[in-house]
């Protein structure tokens, strides 16, 4: 494996590992990273990070942040992150349904924005759990 990956939230290191490839959910679309990728700094959306190790992909739900790619080391700083294997599928489905209902009844602009973000986070967690 050729890439060193660290996923960090404000309160913990979520994962530190080696990988062959990864796909980041950037603010401008998906970005693949392979060995010897050019140095870059990119904003991350709420989305699904995919990490490839020995021909197996691991999904991780990211809740927005930044990624720094530098000399085959990728540092991912995010508000929160959950590996797909750590997410309970049934709970994720229930949370998605709950946030969908909250989105439908949101009236003020503030409530609508907060409900959309909650729905998007729940949707990404469910997707990560389903891809395990």
The pLDDT tens digits of the residues spanning 91-103 come to: 999 999 999 999 9
CA angle 87, 91, 97 (to 5 degrees): 125
pLDDT at 8 over 70: yes
Q: Answer for the pair 129, 91: CB distance below 8 angstroms, yes or no.
A: no
Please report how many Cα atoms fall inside a 13 Å half-sphere around the Cα of residue 93, on the Cβ side: 4
The pLDDT tens digits of the residues spanning 54-90 come to: 999 999 999 999 999 999 999 999 999 999 999 999 9
Does residue 25 sit in helix, strand or coil?
Answer: strand
Tokens 């679309």, residue? 29
Q: How far is CA 36 from CA 21, 40, 42, 68, in A?
A: 11, 12, 17, 13
For residue 86, the tally of other CB atoms under 10 A from its CB is 14
Q: How confident is the model at residue 132 (pLDDT cuts 50, 70, 90)?
A: confident
Span 43-52, mean pLDDT? 97
Average pLDDT, the chain: 96
- pLDDT on residue 1: 65
Question: Alpha helices, DSSP H only, in 8-108?
Answer: 89-105
Q: By percentage, how much of the chain surpasses pLDDT 90?
A: 98
């Amino acid at each position: 494996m050729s890439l060193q990956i660290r996923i960090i939230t404000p309160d913990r290191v979520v994962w530190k590992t080696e990988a062959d490839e990864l796909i980041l959910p950037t603010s401008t679309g998906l970005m693949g990273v392979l060995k010897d990728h050019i140095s870059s700094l990119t904003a991350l959306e709420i989305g699904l990070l995919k990490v490839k190790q020995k021909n197996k992909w691991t999904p991780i739900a990211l809740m927005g942040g930044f990624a720094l790619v530098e000399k085959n080391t990728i540092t991912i700083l995010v508000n929160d992150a959950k590996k797909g294997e750590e997410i309970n599928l049934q709970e994720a489905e229930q949370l998605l349904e709950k946030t969908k209902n909250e989105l439908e009844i949101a009236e003020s602009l503030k409530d609508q924005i907060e409900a959309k973000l909650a729905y998007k986070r729940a949707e990404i967690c469910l997707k990560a759990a389903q891809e395990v």
